[in-house]
Amino acid sequence: MIELLFNELSRLPEVEAIALGGSRAEKNYDEKSDYDVYVYCTKGVSESVRRNLLSAFCEKVELGNRFWEYEDNCTLIGGTDIDLVYRNLDGFIECVAAVVEGFRAYNGYTTCMWHNLLNCKIIYDPLGRLAAAKRRFSVPYPEQLKKNIIDRNFKLLHEAMPAYDNQIIKALKRNDIVSVNHRTAAFLESYFDIIFAVNGQTHAGEKRLASICRQTCNILPEDFENNLNDLFAHLFLNRKAVEKDLKKIIEELEKIIRPAEDETKEST
């Protein structure tokens, strides 16, 4: 069914490339894993055309969601979810280039789009433009990018006046559990961005981050998972313990950052 759907999508004149991403592309999926499909278009495909096409393959269709990118969120006949994300290829390449060639760092998730490109499975690409982009960005992890990610995100974690650790502690003192949850999520976004950067690894996204780091990263903070588990166990229950947990996480992270910074200086 999924191959028939890809074939129908490729017939649309606006579609210039199709790629499969996520766990289905990287072959670490199970029967419950959904399909992440990236449809690169020269211009928008009308909702009526998409509805007619998808209705033949899906038991549930939501068109034009814009919560993240522009996408159709569907459930295939048989119960497997599928997300079709519509992108402009030129715009996507510009975003990846800003990171890989322009060394731009963000507040977490810096290299996710680069990871998405490198690890996608190309389904349809008659002009070879998506494949060419994949070759263009199949390069060693830039040392300047590594430095920029570490600098920006470590300041957010601890060093800057509005750093996340201070915000979490303040929220705990106010008993503002919503803010505690919000700032802890942001703290972890920057934390994992740094770990992937230190290891010269592209960021895999939101799911199974601890296990992915354990499997793919040679350099991890001491007691990496235990420290995270302690933080989660104490988060809404014990303010003093949370302060200690955050301090330990930051101290162990800093130990792996310094050798990475020294290596960057030597290479430049």
Are 165 and 199 in the same domain?
yes
Output DSSP code: residue 44: P
The whole-angstrom separation of Cα 116 and Cα 21 is: 7
92 and 181 together in one domain: no
Residues 77 and 177 in one domain: no
DSSP state of 104: -
CA–CA distance, 24 with 37 (Å, rounded to integer) = 10
61: tokens are 């269709």
Alpha helices in the chain (DSSP H): 2-10, 22-26, 47-55, 89-100, 112-119, 129-136, 143-154, 164-173, 177-198, 209-216, 224-234, 239-267
At 39, which helix (H) or strand (E)?
Answer: strand 35-41
147 and 187, same domain (yes or no): yes
Dist CA 205 CA 190 (whole Å) = 12
- 216 with 183, same domain? yes
Residues 120 and 237 in one domain: no
Report the length, in residues, of the chain.
268
What is the count of structural domains for the chain? 2
Out of 85, 108, 136, a domain closes at: 136
pLDDT of 237 reads: 83
57 and 123 in one domain? yes
Q: Please state whether beta strands 81-87 and 35-41 pair in parallel, antiparallel, or not at all (unpaired).
A: parallel
Tell me, yes or no, whether 86 and 15 share the same domain: yes
Q: What is the CATH number of the domain that holds 131?
A: 3.30.460.10
- The domain boundary, picked from 85, 116, 136, lies at 136
Q: Which of 136, 151, 183 is the last residue of a domain?
A: 136
- pLDDT number for residue 26: 65
Q: How far apart are CA 47 and CA 132, in angstroms?
A: 30
Give the global pTM.
0.88
Same domain, 132 and 147: no
86 neighbors 73 (Cβ within 8 angstroms): no
Q: In this structure, are 259 and 192 located in the same domain?
A: yes
Which residues span the domain enclosing 230?
Answer: 143-267
DSSP for residue 142: P
Sequence-separated (6 or more) residues with CB below 8 Å from residue 100: 114, 137, 139, 142, 145
Asked whether residue 154 falls in the same domain as residue 117, the answer is no
- Cα 80–Cα 123–Cα 4 angle in degrees, nearest 5: 55
Per residue of the chain (268 residues), give pLDDT as tens.
Answer: 889 999 999 999 999 999 998 765 566 655 667 889 999 999 999 999 999 999 999 999 999 999 989 999 999 998 999 999 999 999 999 999 999 999 999 999 999 999 999 999 999 999 999 999 999 999 999 999 999 999 999 999 998 989 999 999 999 999 999 999 999 999 999 999 999 999 999 998 878 899 899 999 999 999 999 999 999 999 988 888 999 999 999 999 999 998 755 555 555 5
- Give bridge partners of residue 19 from the DSSP assignment: 38, 122
Which residues on adjacent β-strands are paired with residue 58? 76
Cα dihedral across residues 40, 37, 1, 60: positive or negative: negative
Q: Is 17 left (phi over 0), alpha (psi -120 to 50) or beta?
A: beta
The Cα–Cα gap between 261 and 268 comes to: 11
Structure tokens at 153: 């995100």
Residues 115 and 195 in one domain: no
1 touches 57 (CB < 8 A): yes
